[in-house]
Structure 1
Amino acid sequence: MIRGTPDGAADEQPLRRCVGDVDDFARRFWGRRVLVHGPGAEGFADLLSLDDVDRLVAEHGLRTPAFRLVRDGSTLPASEYTRSARIGSAPMSGLADPARVFDAVEQGATLVVQGMQRYWPPLLRFCRDLELELGHQCQVNAYVTPPNSQGFSPHSDTHDVFVLQAFGTKTWRIWSEGDTAEGEPDNVELEPGTAVYLPTGTPHAAHTQHTLSGHLTVGIHPTRWRRVLERALAHVLDDPEMDTPLPVGFPHAPGELAARLGEHLEEVGTRLAKVDAHHVAEDLADRFLTDRPALLRGGLTDRMRLSALDDPGRLRRRPGAVCEFRTAADGRLRVLLGDRELRVPEWVEPAMREIAAVPTMTVADLEQHLDRESRLVLLRRLVREGLLEVVDE
């Protein structure tokens, strides 16, 4: 286990907040070794505080399965801490009962708030930016544990994890890479602002002592080489010949089957060597860059401003927006926008590349590329698609 040294200054780059030296992390730790970083001076209170947890439970209409309560590794029955209600004539179930949730936590249960990257504004942006830095899908859960308690017994996860201590302190037992939970663990005291990276399969357990603790677990679901090779192999196996049945009576003639199998393996190997690696790699990248949920806060306000947008109007890149370019076979520009793809004519490409290259711009800034009507059509479209937002001046 390695400890990193915090920089001490606030840094909005999510990965840097989690690991410090990003290049060193990518080279020495990613997928390999445990890293403890911090505590950093900026902490993680901007992402979640105890007051935030209070408001989530008491005021935000939290419903299962977005939260659960756990004690000693077992999830408590939802009926013990939820209630039903109605909106008009429609019934709702699984609503958090604040008093009973708080009672359960006070009595030793851990509150788990799940999938927060979908609805909690600070984590929407943090998780999106972290995903784009890593190139891998992320999700975020929060764990709030009362004093002198342990929510889960020693276990390991099937994905990589960043643990971000938001408030309070918690003692973690972490078994070094390659060990099992049978050996002697390292004991790590997490203070607010401390981050821990756990590669897939690292056994760990955590408990509180004298204070209530709240931490965020960022689950990283990496695309692995196995998946890349499976996609390459899928190109090879996309052949009707591969769907023909094995010979009649094959269990009684394994030697004949082995000979036929050898022929197929040789053919597959020959075809696999001819697979266009660039095509497979670009296909995987495109899938990632068109499968990110749109972040459209303020989108309705922006649309109401579009009719008045003209040359003096200022726009900026929407925070967390994805914009990557590819060239289609017909020469048009493919614009990957996170959850969708646009195709624009070649003559629009210079304008698109200028839009992507600057953080803010006016409509008139595109006059060297497009006439007034064309630039208004393009920019209004990009506002509707979620790439740009209108600046209120």
Structure 2
Amino acid sequence: MSVVHPDQRGPENRSALGRLVSVDERTFIEEYWGRAPLLSRAGELVQSFDDLMTVEAVDELVSHRGVRTPFARMAKDGALLDRSEFTASGGFGAEMTDQLDSAAVLSAFASGHTLVLQGLHRLWPPLIDFVRDLVDDIGHPAQVNAYVTPASSKGFSPHYDVHDVFVLQVSGEKRWILHPPVHTHPLSNQPWSDRRSDVENRARETPAVDTVLRPGDALYLPRGWIHSAEALGDTTIHLTVGVASFNRYDVARQVFDMLATDADLRQPLPAGIDLNDPDAVLPHVDRIIDDLASLLDELRGDTTAQRSIAERLGARLTDITRPEPVNPLRTVAFMTGISADSQVVWRQGLAASVSRDSTTIHLTLRAKTVSLPIEAADAIAQLQTGKPCRVGDLVGLDTDSAIVVARRLLREGIVVPAS
């Protein structure tokens, strides 16, 4: 279950997705998502992106945060700089040799290399919270990189990404050139380098979009759209929010994984078959197609199996996303002083499947199962709505039992302090 906490939204209670697009969210989903680029100017959006990233924040990440590779890389004209050129040991007590060396980063940056700070949704608090909200809004995994490009420099040649992208211009100006896909909706194992020649030829054609992004502008790119960017004038910083959207092929893979339970499909092909001879293999291909058609017809009427397929997809999302972080010390202190007047709330983004027997309710999480007395079932359903709840008001429990249940849920990281 995915829970959105309105009090954790951005300024003016604007949704995370709503901050990135100049059209209403329904229009974006129906007309642009996975279909077409959308350019949103600063004046059309609610606010700038200064709460997410600034020039000062980049300097802090480079010089004071001990960022290590692969959370950072540097590139120029499409070529990556060897990490030994911009990393070093942190010295006594921090001898890891792959930490950013701020002086080396300065030298490489001054010579025209773009600095890429990767995985900032795991490193930088404002982006940790923002991406968690965005995942709840769009229902797909997301991550953030920052691209810091020297004046009048280009970090990467024309290419396409295998994920959807939101570009958020933070500082400076950058020219973006877009061309339509040569391979629509590429999968994660279909990178642009497999079609390098087609991409390069398409990039020589008249662009579909040729525009300059200025601070506060945002650009949405569906996966597969060819793009390149060049800094204009001063240093520029932009955030790239990558969205690894699930697709129909992902659903199909879950269907075929379900078919792995069929013993006939798992039996070996004949010994002595010449797999290099298509004519020898074709009869088996034809038979398998017939068998698959029959199995798929059976699945069509099996709602239990279909539900299992849907649950597998949800389990995959849970596996590759993370709920909001917990604060261990604060939580322990909160548990120590917990009372009927304390307020708790379901941990944002935490998915849990619920089952029960006659005496127990079971919460199955990504890495464990937590079991509670069946009397707590109504309180669990109450908390799963995502609304902050006073411990003494947990449904179906007296005060002492409510405190015990709340303390257990806090310890297991299922709920967090609401204030």
> TM-score, structure 2 length as denominator?
0.82
- Residue 267 of structure 1 corresponds to which residue in structure 2? 291
- Residue 402 of structure 2 corresponds to which residue in structure 1? 375
CA distance in 2, matches of 1:206, 1:54: 22
- Residue 26 of structure 1 corresponds to which residue in structure 2? 29
- Residue 70 of structure 2 corresponds to which residue in structure 1? 65
- Residue 120 of structure 2 corresponds to which residue in structure 1? 116
Give SS of 1:144's match. strand
* Paired residue type of 1:18: L
- Residue 235 of structure 2 corresponds to which residue in structure 1? 212
CA distance in 2, matches of 1:221, 1:292: 11
CA distance in 2, matches of 1:375, 1:291: 32
CA distance in 1, matches of 2:127, 2:170: 13
User: How big is the shift at 1:312?
Assistant: 2.0
Contact 1:162/1:217, CA 8 A, preserved across alignment: yes
Give SS of 2:98's match. strand
CA distance in 2, matches of 1:338, 1:18: 30
- The answer on 1:234 being equivalent to 2:257 is yes
- Residue 150 of structure 1 corresponds to which residue in structure 2? 154
- The answer on 1:187 being equivalent to 2:187 is no
User: How big is the shift at 1:34?
Assistant: 1.1
The C-alpha deviation readout for 1:236-270, integer Å capped at 9, x for no partner, is 23233323322244449976754454333222211
User: How big is the shift at 1:164?
Assistant: 0.9
* Paired residue type of 1:376: I
Aligned counterparts, 1:245-256, within 5 A? 245-251=268-274
Give SS of 1:57's match. helix
Higher mean displacement: 357-366 or 340-349: 340-349
- The answer on 1:386 being equivalent to 2:388 is no
CA distance in 2, matches of 1:51, 1:381: 41
- Residue 277 of structure 1 corresponds to which residue in structure 2? 306
Aligned counterparts, 1:160-199, within 5 A? 160-177=164-181, 180-185=202-207, 186-199=209-222
Question: What 5-or-longer segments of structure 2 have no aligned partner?
Answer: 1-10, 183-198, 300-304
- Residue 6 of structure 1 corresponds to which residue in structure 2? none
CA distance in 1, matches of 2:362, 2:132: 22
Contact 1:351/1:370, CA 8 A, preserved across alignment: yes
CA distance in 1, matches of 2:357, 2:180: 49
Give SS of 1:168's match. strand
Aligned counterparts, 1:285-300, within 5 A? 285-289=314-318, 291-300=320-329
CA distance in 2, matches of 1:279, 1:379: 31
- Residue 144 of structure 2 corresponds to which residue in structure 1? 140
- The answer on 1:349 being equivalent to 2:349 is no
- The answer on 1:359 being equivalent to 2:381 is no
CA distance in 1, matches of 2:138, 2:360: 28
Cα RMSD for the two superposed structures: 2.7
CA distance in 2, matches of 1:189, 1:160: 20
Contact 1:111/1:145, CA 8 A, preserved across alignment: yes
2:110 corresponds to which of 106, 113, 129: 106
Shift in CA distance, 158/329, structure 1 to aligned 2, threshold 3 Å = farther
- The structure, 1 or 2, with the larger RCO (C-alpha pairs under 8 Å, 6+ apart) is 2
- Residue 12 of structure 1 corresponds to which residue in structure 2? 14
- The answer on 1:77 being equivalent to 2:82 is yes
Aligned positions, number: 381
CA distance in 2, matches of 1:198, 1:124: 22
CA distance in 1, matches of 2:26, 2:222: 17
The C-alpha deviation readout for 1:293-330, integer Å capped at 9, x for no partner, is 24334232111221221112233445x34255544688
CA distance in 2, matches of 1:116, 1:331: 44
Contact 1:67/1:112, CA 8 A, preserved across alignment: yes
CA distance in 1, matches of 2:287, 2:84: 60
2:332 corresponds to which of 278, 303, 315: 303
2:131 corresponds to which of 127, 137, 141: 127
2:50 corresponds to which of 22, 45, 48: 45
CA distance in 2, matches of 1:53, 1:271: 54
Shift in CA distance, 358/144, structure 1 to aligned 2, threshold 3 Å = closer
Contact 2:141/2:320, CA 8 A, preserved across alignment: no
Higher mean displacement: 162-171 or 103-112: 103-112
Shift in CA distance, 239/327, structure 1 to aligned 2, threshold 3 Å = same
CA distance in 2, matches of 1:341, 1:190: 48
Shift in CA distance, 116/341, structure 1 to aligned 2, threshold 3 Å = farther
Give SS of 1:14's match. coil
CA distance in 2, matches of 1:265, 1:331: 47
Question: What 5-or-longer segments of structure 1 have no aligned partner?
Answer: 1-8
Contact 2:88/2:100, CA 8 A, preserved across alignment: yes
Give SS of 2:88's match. strand
CA distance in 2, matches of 1:44, 1:336: 37
* Paired residue type of 1:354: Q
Shift in CA distance, 220/345, structure 1 to aligned 2, threshold 3 Å = same
